[in-house]
Amino acid sequence: MASLGEVAEWRLSASSKSHLWAMFGFTSQIPHLPTSPFAIRGTIPAPCSPNLHPPRVQQAPSVVSTPTPPPPPPPRPYPMPSIYLETFGCQMNELDSELVMGSLKAVGYAFTADRERADVVLYNTCSVRERAEQKVWSRLGQDRLRKLDRPEIVVGVLGCMAERDGEDLIKRMPVVDILCGPGELDKLPGLLDNAVRTRSMTGGFATDTNLTRPTVMTSARQVALQGNTSRRSATLAAAEDTLELLDLSRAVSPEDHGMTRSAYVRITRGCNKFCTYCVVPFTRGAEVHRPPRHIIDECKRLAQSGVVEITLLGQTVNHYRFEHGSSVTIGGVMQPQKGRSYKGGHTRDPFAGAQTTTFADLLAQIHDEVPSIQRLRFVTSYPRDFGDDVLEVMRDHPRICRYLHVPAQSGSNRILSMMNRGYTVEEYLDFLDRARSFLHQPQIGRPLTIAGDIIVGFPTETDEDFALTIGLLEQARYKNCFIFKYSPRPGTIAFDKIADDVPEEVKRRRNNKLLAVQNTISAAVSRDFIGTTMGVFIEGLSERELKKRRPERTGLIGLTISAKRPDDAKPTSTDGDACCAGACEDDSHTLTTMAIEPVATAVQLSGRTEGDVIVHVDAPPGIAPESMIGQVVQIRITDCRPLSLIGEVVEPVSLTTTH
Ligand code: 5AD
Ligand code: SF4
C-alpha cells in the first residue's frame, strides 16, 4: 500500500502539472505521457538461464571437514557473446553503464570496444535533446545493414530513448531486439539472456558451426519499461526496491576506476521539477532518494578499492532528504524515498526533524565516515533548494570541493516562468552571492568555482530576453557554462503547448554569441587564479606529454596513466550536443597504457583543482612523475590558457624522489 507521503507526492505532481496547464491557459488536467501505457513486458527469467549457467546445487552441510568441491559446469554450447556498450548523455548514464557492465560481467559476458565484431550491441541513450537521439538512430541504421550479414547479432536500446519511445522504437527500427528503460536496468541480464538464447536457437553465433543461419529472421524481442507507471506511487516502491539492488550490487574493483581514482555515486533518481522543456521527469520517473546507509557503504567500498574522488549524482542533487523509519519493508530493509518540495535559503530544511537525513547531513556523514575520500563533489544542483546548511557544511569540511554546478537556464524572468523553474533571476543571483560569501576564499587557496547551463531560443524568447541572459552571464561569472539550443522534446509541456517559434538561425546566432561572452568571462576568471596556490589532484600525463610518447615505446618505468578507461572494454561515452564555453575540456582522460621514459625535459602532468579547473604542471627535477599521480599537490598558478592553467609545484614533500 502506498504510504501517505507517496500519495501526497503523486497528488503534488498531478496538481503541479495542472497548475502548469493553467499557466499556459489550458484546461486539460492529465497531460499526454510520452510512452504507451504498459508496464514490464516480455518474459524476464532469472539472470542465469539453465543452458548458459547450470543451476547451482545447494550442498548439504558436510560432516567431513574438507568440503567436496562442486562439479565443474558442463561446457557451454557456444561461447559467451561479446558486448559493445556505448553511452550517450550525462554522468547518470555513465554510472548506469558502469553498473550494467558490472552486472553483465558477473554472469560471464565479455566486453569489447569493437562494435563491428561484437555479438551484442547496446546503446545507453539520452533523450534530453534531439541531436543525442539522432546519433543513436544513425547507429541503429548501421546495425540494420550489418545484421543483413550477421543476423545473429543482438541489438539493445537502453535508457531514456527506450523509455520515451517505447515500442514505437522497435516499429521504426525492427533491428532492435531489447528495449530497457533506465528504471529497469536491473532486469537487463535476464532480457539479454533471453534474446541471446533466441538468437542462438535461430542463428547461432559466428563460432557455432552446428547451427545453421535462419533464412527468415525471428524476433528476439525483450522489453522492460516502466511506461506511465514510472510516476505512480503504488508501483514505485516495488520498482525501486529492485532497482536499488543494481546500485547495491555494484562490483567495485580497483581497475574500474584506474589511476584517476574517481567514481560516481547515485544519491537520488528521477526528478519532480517538471521544467516545461525537459523529458527527464518522464523518462527517469519520480524523484527517489537512496537510504544514507547504502550511499555511505558504497563510498566506503569505493574508497577501499582506491577511489579518492567521489561525485554524488542526482538530477536535483541538493534536494536529497531521507526520513528514517518511515519506509521499511517486511524484511526490515529501508526503502528509498520520494522527494518533497521546499524552498531553500533557510538554515535547515524546515520539514526536517530528528529522524531526517538532509543533504547537508549526508555530505557531512560521508566526509567524516570516509576520510580517505580526498574530494567529494556533487552535481547537479537546483538553485531554489539550496539551504545555508549545505553551504556551511561545505565551508567547514575541508574535503568537500568548493564547486557548484547550478543551471540558471535563462536570464529573463518571463522565460524562467514559462520554463517553470520556480525562481527569478534576482533569487538566482542572490543564491550565487550567498554561496560566494560562504565559500569563495582565494586567499587560502580555496576559491569557489561555479558552472552553469543556459538554454537559448526557448519559445517566444526575444532579443530583449536574450540580452538579459547575456547580463546574467556577466554577473554570474561562471568558470564555464554549457549552452544549449532549445530542442523541442515530444511529451514535454513546452512541446505540447508552445510553438517552437525561434528560428534555427536565430538560435544558432544566440548560441555563438553566448559562447563568445562566456569565453571572455572564463579567461578573466582564469587570470584571477594567477599568483594563487591551490591543491591540484594530479590525474596523469598531460595531453602534450601523451602526444610526445608512443604506446609502443618501452621505457624504464611502467605505468598506466590516467586510466578513466584503462582497458578497451570500457563503455565509450559520447557527449550530447552541449557547447561548453570555458574550461571544461577533458584532456587528461586518455585510454593508454605506456611507459614514462626518462627524458631530458621535464615531464608535464595534468590535474584538477577542487573547482574542476584543469592545471598543467611539470614534475620538478628529482621527483618521480608517477609518484605525483593520484595525489593532491600544492601548485602555484603562473599562467593561464583559454581552457586551463599552468603552475609549478610548491610543496613536493611526500613525493618519491628519483635516483
Ligand atoms: N532543449 C535544450 N536543452 C535542454 N536541456 C534540458 N532539456 C533541454 C531541451 N529540451 C538542458 C538544460 C539542462 C541540461 C542537462 O540540458 O540546460 O540543465
Ligand atoms: Fe529536467 Fe528541470 Fe528536472 Fe533538471 S530540474 S532534470 S531540467 S525537469
pLDDT in tens, 446-505: 999 999 999 999 999 999 999 999 999 999 999 999 999 999 999 999 999 999 999 999
For residues 176 and 167, what is the distance between their CA atoms, to the nearest angstrom?
10
Strands ordered across the beta sheet of 288-289: 268-269, 288-289, 337-338
For residues 317 and 270, what is the distance between their CA atoms, to the nearest angstrom?
10
Strands (E) in 372-487, as ranges, are 375-379, 403-405, 449-456, 480-485
Q: Which three cell numbers stand for residue 548?
A: 610526445
Angle between helices 359-369 and 292-304 (to 10 degrees): 30
For residues 109 and 121, what is the distance between their CA atoms, to the nearest angstrom?
12
Distance 278 CA to ligand 1 centre (A): 6
**Residue 384: nearest ligand to its CA?**
2
Strands (E) in 291-446, as ranges, are 309-313, 321-323, 337-338, 356-358, 375-379, 403-405
What is the identity of the amino acid at 460? Answer: T
Position 328 scores a pLDDT of: 56
**Residue 126: nearest ligand to its CA?**
1
For residues 72 and 389, what is the distance between their CA atoms, to the nearest angstrom?
57
Distance 488 CA to ligand 1 centre (A): 10
For residues 80 and 465, what is the distance between their CA atoms, to the nearest angstrom?
56
Q: With a 6 A CB cut-off, is 89 part of the ligand 1 pocket?
A: no
- The residue whose CA is least distant from atom 1 of ligand 2 is 278
- The residue whose CA is least distant from atom 16 of ligand 1 is 128
Distance 225 CA to ligand 2 centre (A): 21
Q: Which residues line ligand 2 (CB under 6 A)?
A: 271, 273-275, 278, 280-281, 315-316, 382
Do the beta carbons of residue 121 and residue 154 sit within 8 Å? yes
Kindly report, residue by residue over 248-300, the tens digit of the pLDDT.
767 666 566 655 588 999 999 999 999 999 999 999 988 889 999 999 999 99
Distance 563 CA to ligand 1 centre (A): 30
Residue 615: enclosing H or E segment and its boundaries? strand 614-618
Position 238 scores a pLDDT of: 53
Residue position matching grid coordinates 526496491: 241
Position 631 scores a pLDDT of: 85
Position 58 scores a pLDDT of: 37
Do the beta carbons of residue 220 and residue 134 sit within 8 Å? no
Angle at 301 (CA atoms; ends 80, 572), nearest 5 degrees = 45
Residue 62: enclosing H or E segment and its boundaries? none
Q: With a 6 A CB cut-off, is 382 part of the ligand 1 pocket?
A: no
Q: With a 6 A CB cut-off, is 128 part of the ligand 1 pocket?
A: yes
**Residue 423: nearest ligand to its CA?**
2
For residues 117 and 139, what is the distance between their CA atoms, to the nearest angstrom?
14
DSSP state letters, 213-260: PPSSPPP--EEE--GGGTT-HHHHHHHHHHHHHHHHT----HHHHTTT
**pTM of the predicted structure, to 2 decimals:** 0.79
Distance 281 CA to ligand 2 centre (A): 7
DSSP class of 443: G
Atom of ligand 1 at shortest range from CA of 492: 10
CA–CA distance from 254 to each of 211, 564, 572 (Å)?
40, 11, 19
- The residue whose CA is least distant from atom 17 of ligand 1 is 453
For residues 322 and 337, what is the distance between their CA atoms, to the nearest angstrom?
7
Identify whether 460 is preceded by a cis peptide bond (ω within 30 of 0): no
**Residue 284: nearest ligand to its CA?**
2
DSSP class of 186: G
Averaged pLDDT, groups of 10, the chain, 659 residues long:
33 37 36 29 31 34 51 60 94 93 90 93 95 94 90 92 89 91 90 82 44 44 65 51 68 61 91 95 90 94 92 94 70 62 66 86 98 95 89 96 97 98 95 96 94 98 98 97 96 95 98 97 95 92 82 39 32 46 44 45 91 94 87 93 90 55
Distance 15 CA to ligand 2 centre (A): 17
Position 539 scores a pLDDT of: 87
Count of Cβ atoms closer than 10 Å to residue 114 Cβ:
10
Query: For the chain, what is the radius of gyration of the CA atoms?
Result: 26
What is the identity of the amino acid at 549? Answer: R
Phi, psi (5° rounding) for residue 172? Answer: -75, -35
Q: What is the DSSP pairing of strand 178-180 with strand 309-313?
A: unpaired
Beta bridge partners of 592: 561
- The residue whose CA is least distant from atom 14 of ligand 1 is 453
Do the beta carbons of residue 469 and residue 410 sit within 8 Å? yes
Kindly report, residue by residue over 201-236, the tens digit of the pLDDT.
655 443 333 434 443 344 567 777 766 555 545 445
Q: Which three cell numbers stand for residue 538?
A: 594530479
For residues 99 and 629, what is the distance between their CA atoms, to the nearest angstrom?
26
One-letter-per-residue 3-state SS of 505-547: HHHHHHHHHHHHHHHHHHHHHHHHHCCCEEEEEEEEECHHHHH
Position 43 scores a pLDDT of: 29
Atom of ligand 1 at shortest range from CA of 488: 10
For residues 86 and 351, what is the distance between their CA atoms, to the nearest angstrom?
42
Q: Which three cell numbers stand for residue 4?
A: 501517505
Position 73 scores a pLDDT of: 54
Q: With a 6 A CB cut-off, is 423 part of the ligand 1 pocket?
A: no
Position 332 scores a pLDDT of: 59
**Residue 579: nearest ligand to its CA?**
1
Atom of ligand 1 at shortest range from CA of 128: 7
Position 338 scores a pLDDT of: 65
Phi, psi (5° rounding) for residue 13? Answer: -65, -40
Count of Cβ atoms closer than 10 Å to residue 555 Cβ:
13
Phi, psi (5° rounding) for residue 468? Answer: -65, -35
Do the beta carbons of residue 53 and residue 73 sit within 8 Å? yes
| Count of all residues that appear for the chain in the document | 659
- The residue whose CA is least distant from atom 13 of ligand 1 is 453
What is the identity of the amino acid at 656? Answer: T
DSSP state letters, 201-215: HHT--TT-TTSPPPS
